[in-house]
Structures are given as C-alpha cells and as structure tokens.
A and B are shown apart, each in its own frame.
Chain A
Amino acid sequence: MADGNQNANVVIERLRAWSPDAISEILEFRGETTVVVPRNLLRDAAFHCRDDKALQFNLLSDATCLDRYPLEPRFEVHYQLVSIPNRKRVSLKVRLSGDDPVIDSLVPVWPGANWLEREIFDLFGIRFTDHPDLRRILLPEDWEGSPLRKDYPVEGYRDIPSIATRYTRNRP
C-alpha cells in the first residue's frame, strides 16, 4: 500500500502526543509499519487508537501470536486494526516473556477480541487479564499443553494416552 507509511506516521504522531512512552519501537518491513507498544500501556493505547478523532480504528481485524522460542522475549502478540472511516490499517505488537505470558485483554475496547484472545489462550497459553470468558475454544477442555508453542512437537506427544484410553482405564 502506497500510503502505508504516511498512515503509520499519523498513528505514531498521535500516540507519541498522548504519551511519550506509548511506542517502544517502530518496525518497517516491505512498506508495512508495525508499532511496538509496551505491555502495560496496551489497553490505553488501543482505546486511544479507537477513540482518537484522527485515527478511528474501529474494527479489530485480527489478533494473533507468534513464538520465537528459544529467543527471549519469546512471544509476540500482533493486532491488526482497520479504520473503516479513514480506510487505513495499522498493526500493533506487544512482546511478552516466556516466564510471565500475561497481557491485558482488549475485549473492553473491541468486543470482537473475545474469541481471538480465547484462541491465543488455547493454542499459546497466554493469559488475558479481565477477559470475560477465558476458556479453551478449539481444543478439548482437558487438553494438556499449548500446541502452537515451538517447544510442542508437530506430531504431538505420542506417549500420552488418548482421552479414550484414559477414560476406559479409570472406569470402575
């Protein structure tokens, strides 16, 4: 997108004007700008992106996570925001360490974040504070581990008995 940079400049400008600490890093790649936000300021920054008259990012398009294990901080949570009135996109990113993968939920800002955050919780084991309904969404409730983490093998743990065998064994 040709106006990608200019668009990100507005975001950077408005967020810096709101708080000098709001942006910890700006990443440029292939004309796309990702704004890295410190973890403790994420929800306020998100409110700002949504409500600022110059930004109006009213649609949360996507939220996802990636695991850079064994590097630290290993987790990165990405948010893709869309402004329907301004026809703009921007992506926010928060870095999380493996010892303390907790982040503020964005459900108060965009109710649509609900299932997206549940999915990240389900597959990466990242906790979202103040999430109204933080349960597994795709995997069974008694699943162990977080399959999309890099230290989880692609073929799964073969030596763990399946749910079916566990239940037949425990039956009196």
Chain B
Amino acid sequence: MSTFATPVAAKPKTMVLNMGPQHPSTHGVLRILLELDGENVVKAVPDMGYLHTGIEKSCEDKTYSQAITLTDRIDYLNPLGNNLAYCMAVEKLLGLEIPKRAQYIRVLLVELQRISSHLVWLGTHAIDLGAMSVFLYCFREREEILKIFELVAGQRMMTSYIRIGGLALEPPAGWLQRVEKFVNMMPGRIDEYEELLTGNRIWIGRTKDVGYISGEDAIALSMTGPTLRAAGIAFDNRKVFPYSSYEEFEFDVPTRTDSDCFARYMIRVAEMRESLKIVRQAMKKITPEGPFRTEAPGIIPPAREKMKTEMEALIYHFKIFTEGFSPPPGEAFAAVESPRGELGVFVASDGSPKPLRVHFRAPSFINLQALPKLVEGRLLADVIACIGTIDIVLGEVDR
C-alpha cells in the first residue's frame, strides 16, 4: 500500500488517474494508478493492502482448530472452500483419513459454494457493465444457496462448517430435499441469465476481444482458475490433483481459446452447470447414516454421547478445547480449486499446539498481478470489464 505515492505522469501528454480505493467496480478497496493518454491506458499499477488484517499472523497465535474461523474471512465469497483447504493441510500434517461420507458432503457444499460465488461474480460484473437486472436475479438464487448453508451449518456466510477431521456437526434431516429443490430449479435459471447476456449486443460489445492474455503469459504470471482455462489450458486441481474424492465424480473442465472477458464469462457459466452435475452425483453418494467425522482420540473431539459416558472421552474433550492438539513437526501444502483458481494453504508445525506458520496462496492476489497486462493499451472502460473478469475478492488479496 503506497500511502504517500504521488504519481507523476511520464509524458507531458498523459495524466494520472487514481481509480479507487473507493470505486464501485473494484469490488472492495483496490486502488489502481492509471496513466492515461486521452482515454487510452498507458500504464496501470495496482495498489492494495487497504484490507490487510494480518490473518496469517493471527493464525500463528491460535490453536489449529481456532484458526478455522479466520479462514472464513479471507475469501468471504468462498468460506467453505477456505475451510476445506486449511483443514486438508492440517489433516495432511496429522495424517488423518476422512470418512467417505464426510468427503462427499464436503464436495457437495463446496460445489454449491462455487455456484454462489459465480453468481455474485456474474451479478456484480453485469452491474459494472450496466446490466442491472441480472444482479437481482443472481442474488435471488444465491439466497437459496445461503439458506441451505444456514440449514446445514447454522450460518449463512461465515460457516466454519468444515472442521479438521470432517464436519462440525451432522447435517439436519431432510437437507438433501432442499438441495434437490435447488438443483432442479437452477438449470432453468442459468438459461435465463444466458438469455439476458450471451446474445446481448451491448454485453458482447463490452466483453468480446477485451482483456486478451495468451496461455503462455497466463502460466508465466502464475494465473489459475477460469482465467487460465479461458486461455485454453485445462488446468483444474479437481481433475489434475484430485482431493476429497473428486476422482469419483464425472464432470468436464470447460476451456476456451479466445481468452477475452467474454470467454471468461462463458467459462464461469459452464462451470456452474458442471458444479450442478457434481452436486447431483454427490447427493446420490451421501448415505443417510454414517460418520460425519473421523475418530482420532486426542485430536478430534469425541461424540457427545461418548463424552457424557466415558471418562477418557471427557478428558480428551477438555484437552482439545483448552490446549488443542500438537501435530508432528513438518510442513504441508494442500491446494483446492476455489472459484477463483488454485487456493493453496501452507501449514508448518513445530510440534506445539499452535501453527508455526500458515500461508494462503490466494488466487485473487496472484491473478490480479496480470491486470496491467490485460488493460495496458486499451480503453479506460475496459479496465472495469477486466477487473470484473479476473474475479478478485479484496479480502483474499489483502488477507
């Protein structure tokens, strides 16, 4: 964050425009220093840090379980995905196996989360480009997903539902009917968005051939997620490095080669349909009965009944919630495919109940690095389309 940066235009003809930190199209507090020649962008320098809250430092002062609540707040459109990535890293440190049923529930919820995140993206991106009504439709459907999360986890957004070893609690009876209702309703709704946008001449005019980046450049700049897949590279962690039983699900990884804002829009719409496919398969796989978390004395809290009847279970319960557990010294890196790209979590343990280091490989942060490449030489209005299709969440950029 350059607090006192007073940019000076390089050429007498150009002017410097300070876009942000308070600008509706930056989806948070992102500041971009734009050097303009008339309406053409000569240079763009993103400047962030306005939302930096030191989450990684705070994690070092909490026990492994307590840090889960902080992960919700990194990418606030994808809290379950963040929980999953963090828990997978800690589970790798501990060497825990997760019951299949818990893995399927995790997959189902994370895919619903992906749809809801893409809905927020689509709605806000459309509103940035002047299509007001799509926003309202998208938020209508997102509300249904948030209601499912509230039913399952008791929270709409900051769920902290995925825990080390499995899930926080057994999902309530009848929750799959709610999911089914949503899954049956959603394909028609996605068709509605497409009717509003895909053939819309203004939409095409604002997004087609805007913000091109080649596949090689995208890889060199470490981009991942829909932005990389729109450049023709089918890299998806769910397929390439399957986790949480994704290898048992059938789905496609949509790719395109035109690599402009329109392609990234088409990829995300196609991903919503693929996620619905995964949700349908997961619903069939989830058995009504079975464990929702693994059993590991001293690490995973014992079941409520056991705690009330067995002395050891009571002692473990007390120790886990006061002192925490101590994984063996070592380092683990776990990566998941978040709606924005590869979300990696690096956790290092020194054998104490608090992590030595927690680092989040935030896809928004790294994808944002490519913004100057996308916008330089283009018009000012294209900057807004480009920021939108990178799909940044500033909470994740700044952490």
Contacts and interface: CB of A to CB of B under 8 A. Distances in A.
Interface string B366-399: 1011000000000000000000000000000011
B233 interface: yes
B316 interface: no
A64 B344 CA distance: 11
Given A66-B348, A91-B333, A140-B49, A61 B398 contact: no
Interface in A130-172: 135-142, 147-148, 154, 163
A68 B346 contact: no
Contacts of B95: 30
Interface stretch (B29-37, B181-189, B353-361): B353-361
B335 A34 contact: no
Interface in B247-265: none
Given A58-B219, A116-B366, A154-B61, A30 B48 contact: no
Interface string B87-101: 000001101000000
Contacts of B399: 138
Size category of the B interface is 35 or more
Contacts of A116: 222, 366
Contact of B241 (A58, A59, A89): A89
A139 B361 CA distance: 18
Contacts of B342: 61
Contact of B344 (A30, A61, A115, A141): A61
B2 A141 contact: yes
A30 B332 contact: yes
A67 interface: yes
B352 to A, nearest CB: 12
B344 A62 contact: yes
Given A1-B241, A59-B222, A139 B2 contact: no
A78 B3 contact: no
B346 A139 contact: no
Given A62-B333, A64-B359, A112 B57 contact: no
A67 B357 contact: yes
Given A111-B221, A114-B369, A141-B4, A80 B361 contact: yes
A154 B368 CA distance: 28
A78 B346 contact: yes
A140 B356 contact: no
A126 interface: no
B1 A136 contact: yes
Contact of A148 (B57, B331, B344): B57
A112 B48 contact: no
A91 B223 CA distance: 18
A112 B357 contact: no
A110 B56 CA distance: 25
Contact of B3 (A123, A138, A141): A141
A119 B93 CA distance: 25
Given A1-B241, A32-B333, A66 B357 contact: yes
A154 B49 contact: no
A30 B194 CA distance: 46
B121 to A, nearest CB: 22
A112 B2 contact: no
A87 interface: yes
Interface string A85-112: 0010101000000000000000000111
A115 to B, nearest CB: 5
21 contacts: A29-B330, A58-B219, A61-B222, A61-B342, A62-B361, A64-B346, A64-B357, A64-B359, A87-B241, A110-B222, A112-B366, A114-B369, A116-B366, A136-B49, A137-B49, A138-B52, A138-B399, A142-B3, A147-B54, A154-B57, A154-B58
Given A29-B330, A137-B48, A140-B49, 14 more contacts: A30-B330, A30-B332, A34-B331, A62-B359, A66-B348, A68-B350, A80-B361, A136-B2, A138-B49, A141-B4, A142-B3, A147-B57, A148-B357, A163-B3
